[in-house]
Amino acid sequence: MATLRVFNSEKLRFCTRSVRYGLTHPESITGLRREFSAEAKAIVFETNGKPLDVLKLRTFPLPDVTGDTVLVKFLASPINPADINQVEGVYPTKPPFLTDSISSSTPLAIGGNEGAVQILEVGNSVTQFKPGDRAIMRHTLFGTWRTHAIAKVSDLTRVPYSNSEVTAVQAATASVNPTTAYQMLKDFVNLKKGDWFIQNAANSGVGRAAIQFGHLWGLKSINVVRDRENIDDLKRDLESLGATKVVTEEEIKDKGFRSTIKEWIDKREIKLGLNCTGGESTTNLARQLSPGGHLVTYGGMARKPVTVPVSLFIFKDIHLHGYWLTRWADAHPEEKEQIVNEILGLLSAGKLKDVPVDDVVWTDNMSDQDRLDVFKRGVARYINGSGGRKQVLVHK
């Protein structure tokens, strides 16, 4: 049994048929029928529960590409809050539990929603991609915590930039956090240059993106973060991204601090607040809004309800909204793709910086147990807070 090496010496298993094409360059694969089948490794779960308890690693063969399908190798896949919530079974959308396609008699779900891939081979009717192209997932629930997959062309959005312009990790993390920040700043209030917005969880992926979009669009921001030992370093970090002001939760809940905020904004108003926390943090955020202001909730990191005093509704006419990117993207797929392409362009131009990342590295020569252990360590770092750093599965 021979071995064909394509793209970084990746090993792919041959079927029992012999190889008829003496291919030494990946581009020469285009249009030819594959004479080998790939093997995939994936992080799966059989039942919902605590991620460190239920996540397993499974190896399974992949079928040949046909028609409008492509064989992809995953380059990077983040571990997002929604991914963990899906494993726990507390998220509105549920990943499909598969049997035949992953050679399992027991239904298993593959975790992960966001990811960047490289095209290894294309079906005979595929014109949108060629081997060597990179792409990101167009929809959620694909199952991105894996090494390889057979995907439909409709599952993917092409990344029109080289790795030197937009890295795999940047591409893999472009379609959720930055897109969420972009939409919330655009959709709820008609903010104009010089206007203010306020947000909590400002060090999160969405928060950091909102700071940068606001700076690019001439907006001013008040950014609330939890107090910590290195708070001055964090403040300088966020200010370097374009944050106008950075304050702690302790500072903003002090009633006397409102006079400081009034001095900052002068005669302007704070018409928009972005909430990712819940509980007391949200209450304090809502109190800073100007009459007629809008508070948009897109997360609940504190796992506490949104509590807003009645007086803010009656006397300040505050409006509360919820935002869920998945629902919006399902209704506006073309608009989402346009925004993602704009974000990729900003990353390529160096105008948008990605969130700090911890690489969760898989290499070709790792054992299955090592892969699982490394991945679970990344999940554990996420659960423990990870110091504001996103955990991303990276294949090297």
DSSP 26: G
**Which of the following is catalytic: 91, 161, 182, 382?**
91
8 A C-beta contact, residue 362 and residue 393: yes
> What's the CA gap between 216 and 219, in Å, rounded?
8
- Which tokens is 80 given? 């997002």
| SS3 (DSSP) at 249 | helix
91 is annotated as an active-site residue:
yes
User: For residue 42, what is the enclosing H or E element?
Assistant: strand 39-45
In 3D, which of 371, 366, 308 has the Cα closest to residue 11?
366
Residues facing 69 on adjacent strands: 152
Give the chain's largest Cα–Cα span: 78
- The neighbour count for residue 153, using CB atoms within 10 Å, is 19
Neighbouring C-alpha atoms within 13 Å toward the C-beta of 126: 30
> What's the CA gap between 378 and 394, in Å, rounded?
11
> What's the CA gap between 312 and 292, in Å, rounded?
10
In 3D, which of 391, 5, 387 has the Cα closest to residue 231?
387
Length of the chain: 396
Q: Is 320 exposed, middle or buried (0-12, 13-18, 19+ CB in 10 A)?
A: middle
Packing angle between helix 81-88 and helix 368-383, nearest 10 degrees? Answer: 110
8 A C-beta contact, residue 289 and residue 320: no
Which sequence positions are flagged as catalytic? 91
